[in-house]
Structure 1
Amino acid sequence: MEVHEGSQKVRIGELPWAAVDPDRHPHRLGERETAGLRALIEPLVPDAKALHKRRWVDRKPVWDAIDPVTDLLVDRFGSWAAGWNWTVGEGDRDGGVVGSWCCALHSVSTPADTAGLVLEALQEWRDWLEELAALFAALTPSASRPPEPGHWEQACRRLVTLVADRSEAQSGWHGHCEQVLSWFLAHQGLPHDRAREIVTAAVDNSFESWRAPDQRVITTVSSRFARALQTPG
Structure 2
Amino acid sequence: MVSELRARTLTWAEADPARHPFAMDADAARELTGHVEPLLPGADVGPADRWEWLATVTEFLVGRYGRWACGWNWSVGEGDTDGGIVEAWCCAHDSMTAPDETAPLVVEGLRQWRGWLEDLAQRFTDLAPPDTTLAAVDRRHWERACTRLVTVVADRTHAESGWYGHCTQVLGWFLACHGIDEDRAREIVENAVGGRFGSWIAPDTAVVDEVSTRFAGGVGGSR
Band of TM-score, shorter chain = over 0.9
Q: Which moved more, 1:191-200 or 1:109-118?
A: 109-118
Superposed displacement of residue 135, structure 1: 0.2
CA shift for structure 1 position 63 = 3.3
Which segments of 5 or more consecutive residues in structure 2 lack a partner in the other structure?
none
Higher helix share: 2
- Report whether the alignment pairs 1:182 with 2:157: no
The 1-side partners of 2:213 and 2:130 are apart by 21
Aligned ranges for residues 220-231 of structure 1 at < 5 Å? Answer: 220-231=210-221
The corresponding residue for 1:13 is 8
- CA contact 1:98–1:124 (8 Å) conserved in 2: yes
For 1:216 and 1:14, locate their aligned partners in 2 and report how far apart those are by CA, in whole Å: 29
Give the structure 2 partner of residue 137 of structure 1: 125
Give the alignment of 1:108-147 within 5 angstroms. Answer: 108-143=96-131, 147=137
Match of 2:93 among 100, 105, 115: 105
CA contact (8 A) 2:137 2:220 kept: no
Percent identity between matched residues is 50
User: Which amino acid in 2 is paired with 1:171?
Assistant: S
Structure possessing the higher radius of gyration over alpha carbons: 1
Is it true that 1:47 corresponds to 2:42 in the alignment? yes
User: Structure 2: how far apart are the matches of 1:133 and 1:153?
Assistant: 18
- Deviation string 1:142-163 (CA, Å, 9 cap, x unpaired) is 3269645511101000000111
Aligned equivalents of 2:108, 2:27: Cα separation in 1: 16
The TM-score normalised by the length of structure 2 is: 0.92
The one of 83, 91, 101 equivalent to 2:79 is 91
Does 2:2 align with 1:2?
yes
The alpha-carbon distance between structure 1 residues 44 and 186, as it changes in their structure 2 partners (threshold 3 A), is same
Q: TM-score, normalising length from structure 1?
A: 0.89
The amino acid across from 1:185 in the alignment is: L
Change (3 A) 1:86 1:16: same
Give the Cα separation in 2 of the matches to 1:205 and 1:215. 16
Count of aligned pairs between the two proteins: 221
CA RMSD of aligned residues (A): 1.8
Q: Which moved more, 1:147-156 or 1:216-225?
A: 147-156
Matches within 5 A, 1:128-207: 128-143=116-131, 147-148=137-138, 150-207=140-197
Q: What corresponds to 2:207 in structure 1?
A: 217
Quote the residue 1:25 is aligned against: 20
Task: Give yes or no for contact 1:89–1:167 (8 Å, CA) kept in 2.
Answer: yes
